[in-house]
């Protein structure tokens, strides 16, 4: 019995931690990072003391909630930087980062926000520095327009965050088309490759008008 009780406490603590993270991901994705910690605790059905015992600050909760996405972001950026063709690598980064953010708006909110005291929310510093180096290589190769600035990448993510669709599938399709349009706008010598299929985001137009 004595051995069983500590094991049960550890199991209960892990269950509480998992519920807190699940609640945080849902709330951050739907409402952004301004959600109060008490609301996260309420959604997870734990007391505030339990929440703060596992996550003393919102920064630690955000970092843990987006740990998997952070890893995915770094993998995407590393793949893009490893491509010997910097323009192709930059296109890969834009396409896949946009798609990743389209699947989880909470990640976009975390990436674009700055929490007081947060050292590197959602790997923003790593991503920005790596993409900046990749963009310089793409410019030197003559593929990226010379007036590109790194804030343009943030602008693309902000616009991508605004995409709204009726399903995750439609959201991702819209993000892919948007990323293709953004890439064409960034290319120094655009060749206007065919765009990905357009998802239906608006009601059908009146008869006789283009869809």
Integer Cα distance of 71 and 66 in angstroms: 9
Q: Which pLDDT score, from 0 to 100, does residue 203 have?
A: 57
- Percent of the chain scoring above 90 in pLDDT: 46
Chain segment 134-168, per-residue pLDDT in tens: 999 999 999 999 999 988 988 998 899 888 888 88
HEC readout, 165-197: CCCHHHHHHHHHHHHHHHHHHHECCCCCCCCCC
pLDDT, greater one: 119 or 64: 64
Question: Per-residue pLDDT for 210 more than 60?
Answer: no
Q: Which pLDDT score, from 0 to 100, does residue 204 have?
A: 53
Q: Which pLDDT score, from 0 to 100, does residue 139 have?
A: 97
Integer Cα distance of 138 and 186 in angstroms: 11
Question: Per-residue pLDDT for 126 more than 60?
Answer: yes
Chain segment 26-49, per-residue pLDDT in tens: 888 777 788 999 999 999 999 999
- Provide the CA 142 distance to its chain's centre, in angstroms: 29
For the ranges 10-14, 72-76, 122-126, 201-205, the maximum mean pLDDT occurs at 72-76
For the ranges 57-61, 79-83, 103-107, the maximum mean pLDDT occurs at 79-83
DSSP string for residues in 21-82: HHHHHHHHHHH-TTS-HHHHHHHHT--HHHHHHH-SSHHHHHHHHTHHHHHHHHHHHHHHHH
pLDDT, greater one: 141 or 70: 141
Give the predicted TM-score (pTM) of the model: 0.75
Q: Which pLDDT score, from 0 to 100, does residue 47 have?
A: 94
Q: Which pLDDT score, from 0 to 100, does residue 56 have?
A: 94
Domains, the chain, in order of start with CATH, read 13-65 (1.10.10.60), 67-186 (1.10.357)
State the average pLDDT for the chain. Answer: 84
Which H or E run includes 151?
helix 150-161
Average pLDDT for 202-208: 54
Q: If pLDDT is split at 50, 70 and 90, which confidence band does 5 have?
A: very low
């Amino acid at each position: 019995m004595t051995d069983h009780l500590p094991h049960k406490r550890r199991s209960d603590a892990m269950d509480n931690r998992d519920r807190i993270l699940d609640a945080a991901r849902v709330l951050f994705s739907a409402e952004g990072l301004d959600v109060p910690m008490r609301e996260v605790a309420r959604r997870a059905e734990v007391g505030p003391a339990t929440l703060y015992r596992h996550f003393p600050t919102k920064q630690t909760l955000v970092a843990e909630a987006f740990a998997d996405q952070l890893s995915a972001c770094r993998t995407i950026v590393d793949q893009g930087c490893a491509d010997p063709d910097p323009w192709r690598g930059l296109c890969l980064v834009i396409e896949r980062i946009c798609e990743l953010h389209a699947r989880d708006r909470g990640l976009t909110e975390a990436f674009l926000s700055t929490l007081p005291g947060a050292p590197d929310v959602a790997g923003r510093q790593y991503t920005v520095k790596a993409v900046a180096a990749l963009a310089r290589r793409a410019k030197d190769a003559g593929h990226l327009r010379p007036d590109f600035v790194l804030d343009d990448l943030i602008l693309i993510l902000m616009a991508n965050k605004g995409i709204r669709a009726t399903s995750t599938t439609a959201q991702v399709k819209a993000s892919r088309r948007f990323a293709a349009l953004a890439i064409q706008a960034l290319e120094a010598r655009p060749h206007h490759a065919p765009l990905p299929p357009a998802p239906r985001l608006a009601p059908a137009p009146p008869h006789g008008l283009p869809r």
